[in-house]
Amino acid sequence: MSLARHSRASNGAALLAGVIATAMALTTGHAAPYRPLSDEVVLERLPPALLALRQLRGTATPSIEPANLDAALASARHYVELGQTYSDPRAYGYAQAALGHWWTSDDGATPQLLVMRARILQFGHRFPQALAQLEVALKADQFQPDAWLLFASIEEVEGNLPAARAGCMKVLPMADPLIGATCVAGIGALSGRADAAEQLLAQALARPTAAGKAVQTWSWTTLAEIRARRNDIAASEVAFRQALTLEPDDVYARSAYADLLLDADRVAEARGVLGDAMQADALLLRASIAAQRNNDADASTLRADLAQRFSEARARGDETHLREQACFVLAVEQNAARALDLAQRNFNVQREPADVRILLEAALAAGQPEAAKPALEWMKTTAIDSVQLSTLAKKIADGARG
Amino acid sequence: MISTLRWIVLVMTLCVASFAHAHKPSDSYLLLTTQSSSDDVSGHWDIALRDLELSVGIDTNRDGAITWGELRAHEDAVFGYALQRLALRADGAPCAIARGALLVDTHSDGAYAVLNFSAHCTAPPRRLEVGYHLLFDLDPSHRGLLGLTADGIARSAVLSPEQPVQEFDLKHASPWHQFFQFVGDGMHHIWIGYDHMLFLISLLLPAVLVRREGRWIPVGTLRSALISVFAVVSAFTVSHSITLTLAALGVIGLPSRWVESGIALSVLLAALNNIWPQVTRRAWLLAFFFGLVHGFGFASVLNDLGLPRDALAISLAGFNIGVELGQLTVVLIVVPLIFLLRERRFYRPAILVGGSSAIAVVAAVWFLQRALGFGLN
Q: In tens digits, what is the pLDDT along chain B, a chain of 377 residues?
A: 333 232 222 222 222 222 333 467 899 999 999 887 788 999 999 999 999 999 999 999 999 999 999 999 999 999 999 999 999 999 889 999 999 999 999 887 889 999 999 999 988 888 899 999 999 999 999 999 998 888 777 778 889 999 999 998 886 556 677 788 788 888 888 887 788 889 999 999 988 888 888 888 888 888 888 988 999 999 999 999 999 888 888 788 777 778 888 999 999 999 999 898 887 778 888 899 999 999 988 887 777 666 665 567 777 888 889 989 999 999 999 999 999 998 888 898 888 999 999 999 999 988 887 777 654 43
CB contact under 8 A, A35 and B107: no
Out of B9, B67, B160, name the one closest to residue A42 (CB). B67
Measured between CB atoms, does B139 come within 8 Å of chain A?
yes
Q: So what's the pLDDT on residue A261? A: 96
Tell me the average pLDDT of chain A: 86
Q: Which residues of chain A does B64 touch, with a Cβ-Cβ cutoff of 8 Å?
A: 45-46, 51
Which residues have a Cβ under 8 Å from the Cβ of B157 and sit 6 or more positions away? A17, A20, B130, B146, B148, B166
Q: Which residues of chain A does B105 touch, with a Cβ-Cβ cutoff of 8 Å?
A: 30-34
Helices (H), chain B: 4-18, 49-55, 68-73, 75-84, 175-192, 194-204, 222-248, 256-275, 283-305, 312-341, 356-367
Measured between CB atoms, does B5 come within 8 Å of chain A?
no
Q: So what's the pLDDT on residue B130? A: 96
Q: So what's the pLDDT on residue B12? A: 26
Residues A117 and A103: their CA atoms lie apart, in Å, by 7
Q: So what's the pLDDT on residue B188? A: 84
Q: B interface mutation test: which of A84, A90, A276 has the most B CBs within 10 A?
A: A90
Output the CA–CA distances (angstroms, integers) from residue B333 to A80, A306, B200, B234, B327, in the order listed: 55, 30, 12, 17, 10
Q: Which residues of chain B does A49 touch, with a Cβ-Cβ cutoff of 8 Å?
A: 23
Q: So what's the pLDDT on residue A325? A: 92
Distance from CA of A112 to the nearest CA of B (A): 21
Q: So what's the pLDDT on residue B125? A: 87
CB contact under 8 A, A32 and B6: yes
Ramachandran class of A367: left when φ > 0, alpha when ψ lies in -120 to 50, beta otherwise: left
Q: B interface mutation test: which of A5, A22, A34 has the most B CBs within 10 A?
A: A34
Give the lowest-confidence range in A67-81, A319-333, B35-49, B307-321. Answer: B307-321
Using the CB atoms, write b or e for B346-356: b if 16+ within 10 Å: ebbeebbbebb
Give me the amino acid identity at A386. Answer: S
Q: For residue range B217-238, list pLDDT tens digits in order.
A: 888 888 888 988 999 999 999 9
Query: Does an H or E element contain B216, and which?
Result: strand B215-218
User: Does A359 have pLDDT greater than 70?
Assistant: yes
How far from the centroid of its chain's Cα atoms is residue B236's Cα?
20
Give me the amino acid identity at A207. Answer: R
Distance from CA of B219 to the nearest CA of A (A): 39
Give the lowest-confidence range in A6-10, A258-262, A272-276, B338-342. Answer: A6-10
Out of A15, A44, A277, name the one closest to residue B66 (CB). A44
Contact A250, A221 (CB under 8 A): yes
ipTM: 0.78
Q: So what's the pLDDT on residue A285? A: 93
Ramachandran class of A317: left when φ > 0, alpha when ψ lies in -120 to 50, beta otherwise: left
Measured between CB atoms, does B137 come within 8 Å of chain A?
yes
pTM for the complete prediction? 0.65
User: Does A41 have pLDDT greater than 60?
Assistant: yes
Q: For residue range B311-327, list pLDDT tens digits in order.
A: 677 778 888 899 899 99
Q: So what's the pLDDT on residue B305? A: 67
Q: For residue range A109-130, list pLDDT tens digits in order.
A: 899 999 999 999 998 888 999 9
Provide the 3-class DSSP secondary structure of residue B189: helix
User: Chain A to chain B, count of Cβ pairs less than 8 Å apart?
Assistant: 200
Output the CA–CA distances (angstroms, integers) from residue A347 to A158, A326, B163, B244, in the order listed: 9, 11, 29, 57
Residue B309 DSSP symbol: G
